[in-house]
């Protein structure tokens, strides 16, 4: 009997060690595959001049004990020629305080007119196309007044793969959404019904891309934040952790990042501990600070950068960003949707 129990525990220990080894191997392999390298980068079409401008930005090192800010770029690579670099279809920043474990999720309106270092003024979604991730990081850092240490880039296929790998997302679709897109033989048509839905990868892409209503990109970025929050919460479940090797294997062909393997381990631990239930979700620029103007006959969205940076600072400090300095925010889990009138 004693010998049976002994062998049972030895077998259990061996299985545990094998499981840990498998998870470790899967993670390290995933980390190595998605790290940005000259020979594998999705931005190999940049000219030497573009690279020299974008390489002038050196992302600050994150030591693990200060706020970390990650730029999340979603690209539309449809119809691109070989080595052609896409514009960013979506631009988001995830920010986590490692002390309080408070998480923030910002979505930047892609038509925001900003200064792009070395390239004058243009819509912020062009920064990726004209200088790659480094220029996009520097542009967003200059706009928000915060250091951007890391980036993640993926495209439509990567988004679909991630959603399917975690088993889809249950989400309330707030309205009927319908749009026909002939660019790819209607592969990316949108046809969703109002109500609670289980969204697989293709349905989820329809949900986060839809902007053919009165609020256009304003409501679209709000849906993107809503969906990403749901993904973050599901990734913290036991089921997702068990399936983690398969999830990583499914998405690594579509991701690119400047995170090292060691950084991913630190950031992964912090992300798991982050309070996704109390995540602060915010459109950038907030509607209260938006200014409409015309450039070359086209309408663009602008913002006073100093006011925006004060706004971001107030959010991080737990103050009402629109109240006089020193007034604390009402409630701890503020989530603003950005539907106030736009200034002209």
User: 22 pLDDT exceeds 70?
Assistant: no
Residue 270: predicted pLDDT: 86
User: 286 pLDDT exceeds 90?
Assistant: yes
Residue 54: predicted pLDDT: 54
Residue 343: predicted pLDDT: 46
Residue 67: predicted pLDDT: 93
Higher per-residue confidence, 135 vs 212: 135
**Model's pTM, two decimal places?**
0.82
pLDDT in tens, 78-99: 766 666 777 788 999 999 999 9
Average pLDDT, the chain: 81
Under the banding of pLDDT at 50, 70 and 90, the label for residue 69 is: very high
Residue 177: predicted pLDDT: 93
Phi and psi (nearest 5°) for 46? -70, 140
Query: Which residue's structure tokens are 């998605």?
Result: 34
Residue 340: predicted pLDDT: 41
User: 32 pLDDT exceeds 90?
Assistant: no
What is the average pLDDT across 195-202? 95
Give the distance, in angstroms, between the CA of residue 202 and the centroid of all CA atoms in the same chain.
Answer: 18
pLDDT above 70 coverage of the chain, percent? 76
Residue 163: how many other CB atoms lie within 10 Å: 24
Return the half-sphere exposure (C-beta side, CA atoms, 13 A cut-off) of residue 122: 17
SS (H, E, C) 96-161: ECCCCCCEEEEEECCCEEEECCCCCEEEHHHHHHHHHHHHHHHHHHHHHCCCCCEEEEEEHHHHHH
User: 165 pLDDT exceeds 50?
Assistant: yes
- The secondary structure of residue 280, as a DSSP letter, is E
CA 226/CA 229 separation, integer angstroms: 5
The set of residues, in sequence order, having a beta carbon less than 8 Å from that of 313 and lying 6+ positions away, is: 145
Residue 199 CB-density burial (10 A; 0-12 exposed, 13-18 middle, 19+ buried): buried
Phi and psi (nearest 5°) for 201? -60, -50
Higher per-residue confidence, 145 vs 130: 145
């Amino acid at each position: 009997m004693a010998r049976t129990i002994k062998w049972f525990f030895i077998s259990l220990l061996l299985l545990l060690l094998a499981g840990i080894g498998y998870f470790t191997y899967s993670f390290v392999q995933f980390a190595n595959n998605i790290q940005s390298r000259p020979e594998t980068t999705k931005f190999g079409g940049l000219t030497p001049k573009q690279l020299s401008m974008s390489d002038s930005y050196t992302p600050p090192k994150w030591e693990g004990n200060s706020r970390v800010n990650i730029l999340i770029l979603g690209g539309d690579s449809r119809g691109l020629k070989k080595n052609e670099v896409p514009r960013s279809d979506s631009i988001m920043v995830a920010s986590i305080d490692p002390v309080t474990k408070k998480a923030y999720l910002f979505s930047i309106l892609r038509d925001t007119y900003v200064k792009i270092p070395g390239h004058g003024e243009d819509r912020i979604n062009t920064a990726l196309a004209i200088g790659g991730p480094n220029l996009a990081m520097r542009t967003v850092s200059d706009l928000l007044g915060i250091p951007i240490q890391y980036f993640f880039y993926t495209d439509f296929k990567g988004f679909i793969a991630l959603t399917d790998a975690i088993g889809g997302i249950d989400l309330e679709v707030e309205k009927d959404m319908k749009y026909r897109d002939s660019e790819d033989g209607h592969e990316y048509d949108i046809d969703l019904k109002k109500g609670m839905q289980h969204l697989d990868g293709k349905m989820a892409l329809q949900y986060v891309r839809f902007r053919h209503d009165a609020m256009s990109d304003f409501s679209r970025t709000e849906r993107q934040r809503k969906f990403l929050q749901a993904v973050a919460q599901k990734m913290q479940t036991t089921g997702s952790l068990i399936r983690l090797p398969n999830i990583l294997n499914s998405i690594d062909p579509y991701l690119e990042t400047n995170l090292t393997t060691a950084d991913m381990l630190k950031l992964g631990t912090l992300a798991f501990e982050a309070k996704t239930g109390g995540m602060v979700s915010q459109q950038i620029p907030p509607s209260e600070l938006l200014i409409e103007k015309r450039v070359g006959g086209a309408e663009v969205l602008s913002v006073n950068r100093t006011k925006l940076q004060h706004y971001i600072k107030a959010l991080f400090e737990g103050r009402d960003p629109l109240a006089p300095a020193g007034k604390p925010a009402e409630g701890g889990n503020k989530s603003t949707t950005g539907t106030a009138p736009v200034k002209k």
